[in-house]
Chains A and B, each alone.
Chain A
Amino acid sequence: QTVVTQEPSFSVSPGGTVTLTCGLSSGSVSTSYYPSWYQQTPGQAPRTLIYSTNTRSSGVPDRFSGSILGNKAALTITGAQADDESDYYCVLYMGSGIGVFGGGTKLTVL
């Protein structure tokens, strides 16, 4: 069974830079899995931040960027702001049709 791994939590200072990662329990993440990142604040629907590795969704500030780092997908937030405090989910689309979600990373900005 495919397991997508994410850091359970992360902390960043306002104005700082943080990189969240998304890996596989077995194997490497590749661009062919269209790694994507979704942001969710409590009580709200998810919002698409990055799809297909590094394409920002409409209206997403350019301080959010996606990449492949080593054998993982990565989401980098440059110049973190207080309202970036959210849950971030990585999803890999591995050919079955549906995406495999990671467990999410709870980002704290303090």
Chain B
Amino acid sequence: EVQLVESGGGLVQPGGSLRLSCVASGFTLSSYAMHWVRQAPGKGLESVSVISSNGDSTYYANSVKGRFTISRDNLKNTLYLQMGSLRLEDLAVYYCARADFWSGPIRDPWGQGTLVTVSS
């Protein structure tokens, strides 16, 4: 079964750091660009970051640029999101998802999401 499973969410204070992971199974991660998308409570979906299949290219939303770093380990079939200088407005469910190519559309599956709570 093709699946993405996120982990690493939790409660963190403003200014703190957190690393999210997304483990892929049922397919070869190295064949796909990978995305992080988030959703604040009661709000819509927002693109956070994308990384190319080999990791050479990355892009960040303005809201997280300079604070978040996307990376991947294709040998471990795992995608990461290192989150730093966290703000209250980063509180959200974070989803990982795949795309066939850079700038291509996100396809199924999506992960089930992991909740990041930023609070003092």
Give the distance in Å from the alpha carbon of A97 to the alpha carbon of B70 in the complex: 13
B-side interface mostly: strand
How many Å from the CB of A59 to the closest CB on chain B? Answer: 8
Give the distance in Å from the alpha carbon of A1 to the alpha carbon of B35 in the complex: 21
Give the distance in Å from the alpha carbon of A98 to the alpha carbon of B46 in the complex: 10
- Interface assignment of A19: CB less than 8 Å from any CB of chain B: no
In the complex, chain A residues 22-66 whose Cβ is within 8 Å of any chain B Cβ: 34, 36, 38, 40, 45-48, 51-52, 57-58
Residues of A within 8 A of B45 (CB): 38, 40, 46, 89, 101, 104
Residues of B within 8 A of A52 (CB): 105
Residue of A nearest to B102 (CB): A97
Query: B103-120 vs A: 1/0 string, CB under 8 Å?
Result: 111111011110000000
Task: Determine whether the beta carbon of A98 is less than 8 Å from that of B111.
Answer: no
Inter-chain contact count A-B, CB under 8 Å?
74
- Interface assignment of A12: CB less than 8 Å from any CB of chain B: no
Q: A98-B59, A98-B61 are in contact. Are A48 and B103 (CB under 8 A)?
A: no
Residues of B within 8 A of A40 (CB): 45
Seed contacts A38-B45, A93-B105, A94-B103; 10 additional CB < 8 Å A-B pairs: A38-B106, A40-B45, A47-B108, A89-B45, A93-B104, A95-B103, A97-B50, A98-B35, A98-B49, A101-B37
Residues of B within 8 A of A (CB): 33, 35, 37, 44-50, 52, 57-59, 61, 95, 97, 102-108, 110-113
28 contacts between A and B (CB under 8 A): A34-B103, A34-B104, A34-B105, A36-B105, A38-B106, A45-B111, A45-B112, A45-B113, A46-B95, A48-B106, A51-B106, A57-B107, A58-B108, A89-B44, A91-B47, A91-B106, A93-B105, A97-B50, A97-B52, A97-B58, A97-B59, A97-B102, A98-B49, A99-B106, A101-B44, A101-B45, A101-B46, A103-B44
Residues of A within 8 A of B (CB): 34, 36, 38, 40, 45-48, 51-52, 57-58, 87, 89, 91, 93-104
